[in-house]
Copies of this chain bind each other. A is one copy, B any other.
Amino acid sequence: MTTPRSWLAPANDSPFGVHNLPYGVFTAGDRPGRRRIGVRVGDFVLDAGAAARAAGEPSVLLDADSLNPLLAAGRPVWTEVRAALTRWLTEESHRDALTPLLLPLAEVELHLPFEVADYVDFYASEHHATNLGRILRPGSEPLTPNWKHLPIGYHGRSGTVVVSGTPVVRPHGQRKAPADAVPSFGPTRRLDIEAEVGFVVGAPSTMGEPVTLDRFREHVFGVCLVNDWSARDIQGWEYVPLGPFLGKSFATSVSPWIVPLDALEHARVAPPARDVEPLPYLDDRGGEPWGLDLALEVRLNGHRISRPPFASMYWTAAQQLTHLTVNGASLRTGDLFASGTVSGPEPDTRGALIELTWNGENPLKLPDGTTRSFLENDDEVTITATAPGPEGTVVGFGEVTGRVVP
């Protein structure tokens, strides 16, 4: 099937053509304070609720102040709504009615597009986990014995998931270097990023009923970018034995656009070979592969510092979702699970400063002449990503960005 072309000509050559159509929530000056669902087309945002009414196909799911009702509606409805949006944006007959409903991206404010239910963060990059093991536990096996048997994850704080652009206040907390006798209290000295990919759950599941690998598509609506800000000194002191807590819970930033899973069909790739036989519930050989060829890019104050390849992740999102529910835990609309830091095998493909600077031993030299071991106040970090779309197109994710404030 040939990808249809939009009557909005410039959109066709953009990473936000009708092959993408990511969803977000915006406010704009024409109706101040009123949150609306928007769909990004080129450098415009289509007011989706108004478009539905203009097309004579009113949908309460699009006429909402968050994506939650649409998320809850499930896969058949997602397909229907995406088909309708494609029709409206490609058929000439809709052009006149819809043109006034396209707002320039620069004139809207983007918000957190859904209410986050539970937030889970995984740890699925073998390169990242190995680097962290070497840095934090030198002399022992870098990967813990469980790492290749199960996708390690933990629950994060959903109340502090914020949209891209929200300033990140440098957190205070207890820090104790190995040489210190007692901990001290103050602002973190080792503020870091984690470049991750997030998966947004739409359709809920029933408690006691695991979601098997083949049902990934039924439950996951789409994909966004995540920066899981981390205070390494706070985390290092607190995390034994119950895991990260305040070293993470001060802020987790997400990109404002949720790229539909349907837009990523051409990005699907086989995951890397696994050298440990997975237990049957995690065995994805023979089923649909859910590796995804997303090319991430991390910029610090405008300078590119890393290009993490998502296709290198050891565990896929489908395996993570299955593992998450195999004990009977239910899913709710708005659950968000993130991949864990995306780090590739090369030094310049690592997704966190602790790896890029090897725990501060090799500071990054920035083109402006400064160096960084960890983040300084006023530093701005931006993560972007693209994926292959149909017929040579590119699927854009937009960006997740945040500036550190004291």
Contact = CB atoms under 8 A, between A and B. Distances in A.
B160 A207 contact: yes
B238 A330 contact: no
Interface string A245-272: 1110111000000000000000000000
B149 A210 contact: no
B150 A118 contact: no
B246 A118 contact: no
Nearest to A207: B160
Interface residues of A, number: 59
A35 interface: no
Given A123-B242, A154-B242, A238-B150, A329 B117 contact: no
Nearest to A136: B241
A243 B242 contact: yes
A160 B329 CA distance: 6
Nearest to A210: B172
Contacts of A327: 171-173, 231, 234, 246-247, 249-250
Nearest to A167: B208
A84 interface: no
B160 A157 contact: no
B155 A155 contact: yes
A185 B281 contact: yes
Nearest to A169: B208
Contacts of A123: 242
A153 interface: yes
A170 B184 CA distance: 43
Contacts of A237: 146, 150
B242 A153 contact: yes
Q: Is the interface of A mostly helix, strand, loop or mixed?
A: loop
A29 to B, nearest CB: 26
Contacts of A174: 146, 149-150, 279
Interface string A169-205: 1011110100000111100000000000000000000
A326 B172 contact: yes
A242 B156 CA distance: 11
Given A118-B158, A174-B279, A328-B171, A244 B246 contact: no
A240 interface: yes
A86 to B, nearest CB: 33
A153 B245 contact: yes
Interface string A269-290: 0000000000111000000000
A242 B152 contact: yes
A240 B244 CA distance: 11
Contacts of A279: 174, 183-185
Interface in A314-355: 323-324, 326-332, 335
A169 B330 CA distance: 12
B242 A159 contact: no
Task: Report which residue of A154, A158, A237 has the largest number of chain B beta carbons within 10 angstroms of its beta carbon.
Answer: A154
A405 to B, nearest CB: 9
Contacts of A324: 246, 249
Nearest to A153: B245
A243 B243 contact: yes
